Amino acid sequence: MNFIPLGQRVLVQRVEEESTTPSGIIIPDNAKEKPLIGEVKAISKEVEEDGDIKVGDKVVFAKYSGTDINLEGEEYLVLNTDDILGILK
């Protein structure tokens, strides 16, 4: 299934964080916050024309932003480009 965001939006899949601390303590899933870093999976035509964000970029986004959606059993987040704080290089 293809999902094409509309307006100034992008489709992002969260990047899972490590579940073990450097000292070896395992952090249970219910104690972890959702990661604020994700990989861009799809962009709208408007975002593509701007050229700032591309598919495959790793981005940092605001904590309480976007809309969670489920596509073919995978969880994604639809974000407005204003909610993206920066691109990780």
Entry pTM: 0.80
Residue numbers in the chain where pLDDT is lower than 70: 1, 17-35
For 36-59, write each residue's pLDDT tens digit.
899 999 999 999 999 899 999 999
Considering the domain 9-18+25-88, what is its CATH architecture?
Answer: Roll (2.30)
Residue matched to tokens 């104690």: 31
> What's the order of all strands across the beta sheet hosting 58-61?
67-71, 74-80, 9-14, 37-43, 58-61, 84-88
pLDDT of residue 31: 46
CA dihedral 60, 68, 10, 83 (to 10 degrees): -50
pLDDT of residue 15: 86
pLDDT of residue 1: 62
